Structure 1
């Protein structure tokens, strides 16, 4: 099981689209109710994560399934794995 997880992460890392800003994300697509953002130079789909913010540490609501909070454009967002 652990090997399968590591393999899945490696495949995702190889196929992820690199970016400097969200406009660079041309091949990554997100599902309904999510938005694309450039996080740590990787095109990433996010969902609304709760409150307004100035930094990720301002986000106290929980993201499901261990996803991480990010403060994007003044709003808490959760990454989609």
Structure 2
């Protein structure tokens, strides 16, 4: 019987995001989508949510022109800590 476990889903999504990030060339869009899915999981650990927002904000700063969205994610990371 399969039961949903948010921690297993989190680990799977983190691994997948890292795989996209380390591809040559990196697939930043899919990486950010995986990280966004982690936020939507509602994993009950604020530190994980904060780290995920930090990762998304950093990726957006480095690989996009959407500075406002990057700022939103970075502010959210700080507020969760």
Q: Which has the higher contact order (CA 8 A, sep 6+)?
A: 2
TM-score relative to the length of structure 2:
0.31
Task: Give the number of the structure whose residues are more often strand, by fraction.
Answer: 1
Task: Give the number of the structure whose residues are more often helix, by fraction.
Answer: 2
